[in-house]
Amino acid sequence: MSSSTVYVETYGCQMNVSDSELILGKLADAGYSQVDSPDGADVILVNTCAIRDHAEQRVLGRLGELKRHMKPGAVVGVAGCMAQRLGPRLFDRAKHVSLVIGPDGYRALPDLIERARDGERATAVDFDLEEHYQGFSARRFEGVKAWIPVQRGCDYRCTYCIVPTTRGPERSRPLLDAVREVEQVAEQGITEVVLLGQTVNSYNDGSHDFADLLRAVGRVDGIRRVRFTSPHPNDFSERVIAAMAETPEVCEHVHLPMQSGSSRVLKRMLRRYTREQYFECADRLRAAIPGLGLTTDIIVGFPGESDEDFAETLSAVREIGFNDAYTFKFSAREGTAATRFPSADDVPDNVASERLARLIATMRAGARRANMAALGQRHEVLVEKEARRGGLLQARTRDFKTVIIPGEPSLIGSYVTVELTGTTGSTFTGTVTSERVELPLAG
């Protein structure tokens, strides 16, 4: 057993956060202890994202900085999507890196680290279609909720997206295995789980679909809230929507990536739905689940996006009334189909920036209106952590509103009822009307 130390830094999505938890679990089992600073660590791992060029540039900058924190003989490794995308090319970009390991390679991590320590430049970038990291015990970063990966990879081929290249084909983890992990976290006192997958509602382990999974996870003793991210609009079958509606633990919130409000752009993105079909999906979800919060992802400046196309995105945002959105400027990713559109289709950067600013303003105005209308409502919240401003706590409603409330840190992890008393436009302030809802919920 080693008594070495490891420092892990994570970029990108929740799947990466979850992967870092698995990495740390694996290394803890191999005798490593986790440290909070790269200074003096024996192993420094950066778990990376490749979704936009900006994400990669940040990592390259950070790798440069980390050089200054390396002690002699330390191993610096790059994990995750950028490692998968660039493979050994990363060694040329950052000479002090001696380990490159893609999202399916973490089982071999202790051995690879040993090899890197022996002076080798170690790489693991093969996909493993059986890999669900069974037998790993995740080291969780968050105290009150747990990320549960249930599906890895993606079988869609959205033309802008690098994920199918970096995370490989879609595969679903066996239901029993996922449920067992939920039971374990529930035994540790965690009451909220977030099921993770690239198109999580297409989950199918050969015998069970996502509807079965939602119902099974909802039944686990002690679990009070079930969330999932991110679904694809085309995979909301009637069975899945019924399971959401009929499972009391499944929260009234869906993050439903729209990407564009123009059918013409959606077609070029190969999203496989039209504007109308997306609206229909949102309507079906709202009809089945009263009080549903809807958030989304939107890309502006996709090749060929005209002023009219963009106007359709703005009108979709207004008409649907999202509670929040992650908004992005299109970033061309090497190897994706979107790079093969004629260069005449490129949207100039200043146009894309201007569209992004207008989209954000439209989004904020809509959210502010909806949030003002919610003042006075009472909600059950889970107290998640201390707020950035001193002496306050950050809590979350079932429909994914952030509420800042007064209270002692000892309330973290418990459920209280709050009244929404103010809003900054995006988040709320609230007062506690009843403390410590009894746990667990019946059922």
Does residue 99 touch ligand SF4 according to CB under 6 A?
no
Q: Give which of ligand SF4, ligand 5AD, none residue 87 binds (C-beta under 5 to 8 Å, depending on kind).
A: none
Minimum distance from CB of 205 to ligand 5AD (Å)? 24
Task: State which residue, 249 or 305, has the beta carbon closest to ligand SF4.
Answer: 305
- Asked if 209 contacts 244 with a C-beta cutoff of 8 angstroms, the reply is no
Give the whole-angstrom CA distance, residue 392 versus residue 409: 8
Task: State which residue, 5 or 230, has the beta carbon closest to ligand 5AD.
Answer: 230
Task: State which residue, 170 or 384, has the beta carbon closest to ligand SF4.
Answer: 170
Contact string 164-193 vs ligand SF4 (x = CB under 6 A) = x-----------------------------
What single DSSP character describes residue 108? G
Burial class (CB in 10 A: 0-12, 13-18, 19+), 125: middle
Minimum distance from CB of 197 to ligand SF4 (Å)? 9
Exposed e or buried b per residue across 57-79, where buried means at least 16 C-beta atoms within 10 angstroms of its C-beta: eebeeebeebeeebeeebbbbbb
Task: State which residue, 158 or 175, has the beta carbon closest to ligand 5AD.
Answer: 158
φ/ψ of residue 66, rounded to 5: -65, -25
Number of residues lying near ligand SF4 (CB under 6 A): 9
Minimum distance from CB of 265 to ligand 5AD (Å)? 12
Does residue 150 touch ligand SF4 according to CB under 6 A?
no
Task: State which residue, 364 or 385, has the beta carbon closest to ligand 5AD.
Answer: 364
- What Å distances lie between residue 87 and 66, 161, 163, 178, 285, CA to CA? 20, 18, 15, 30, 41
Minimum distance from CB of 163 to ligand SF4 (Å)? 4
Give the whole-angstrom CA distance, residue 148 versus residue 319: 33
Exposed e or buried b per residue across 259-287, where buried means at least 16 C-beta atoms within 10 angstroms of its C-beta: bbbbbbbbebbebebebeebbebbeebbe
Residue nearest to ligand 5AD (CB): 297
What are 419's strand-pairing partners? Answer: 378, 431
Q: Give which of ligand SF4, ligand 5AD, none residue 330 binds (C-beta under 5 to 8 Å, depending on kind).
A: ligand 5AD
The one segment of 84-92, 139-147, 161-169, 382-390 that binds ligand SF4 by CB under 6 A = 161-169
Task: State which residue, 24 or 81, has the beta carbon closest to ligand SF4.
Answer: 81
Task: State which residue, 7 or 147, has the beta carbon closest to ligand SF4.
Answer: 147
- Binding ligand SF4 by CB under 6 A: which of 112, 158, 294, 299? 158
CA atoms within 13 A on the CB side of 35: 15
The one segment of 98-106, 154-162, 352-360, 431-439 that binds ligand SF4 by CB under 6 A = 154-162
Query: Sheet containing 225-229: which strands, arranged edge to edge?
Result: 145-149, 192-196, 225-229
Minimum distance from CB of 202 to ligand SF4 (Å)? 9
What single DSSP character describes residue 337? G
The one segment of 71-79, 158-166, 184-192, 421-429 that binds ligand SF4 by CB under 6 A = 158-166
**Footprint of ligand 5AD (CB under 6 A):** 51-52, 160-161, 257, 259, 297, 299, 328, 330-331, 333
Q: Please, which residues have CB within 8 angstroms of residue 387's CB and are 6 or more apart in sequence?
A: 393, 394, 404
Both structure tokens of 433: 């009307």
Contact string 55-84 vs ligand SF4 (x = CB under 6 A) = ------------------------------
Give the whole-angstrom CA distance, residue 379 versus residue 417: 6
Q: Give which of ligand 5AD, ligand SF4, none residue 26 binds (C-beta under 5 to 8 Å, depending on kind).
A: none
Minimum distance from CB of 363 to ligand 5AD (Å)? 14
- Asked if 183 contacts 216 with a C-beta cutoff of 8 angstroms, the reply is no
Minimum distance from CB of 296 to ligand SF4 (Å)? 12
Does residue 161 touch ligand SF4 according to CB under 6 A?
yes
What are 7's strand-pairing partners? Answer: 44
Q: Diameter of the chain by CA atoms?
A: 63
Q: Give which of ligand 5AD, ligand SF4, none residue 173 binds (C-beta under 5 to 8 Å, depending on kind).
A: none
The one segment of 30-38, 110-118, 155-163, 337-345 that binds ligand SF4 by CB under 6 A = 155-163
By CB under 6 A, what part of segment 212-241 binds ligand SF4? Answer: 232
- Asked if 222 contacts 438 with a C-beta cutoff of 8 angstroms, the reply is no
Strands 122-124 and 33-34: unpaired
Query: By the criterion CB under 6 A, which residues form the site for ligand SF4?
Result: 154, 156, 158, 161, 163-164, 198-199, 232
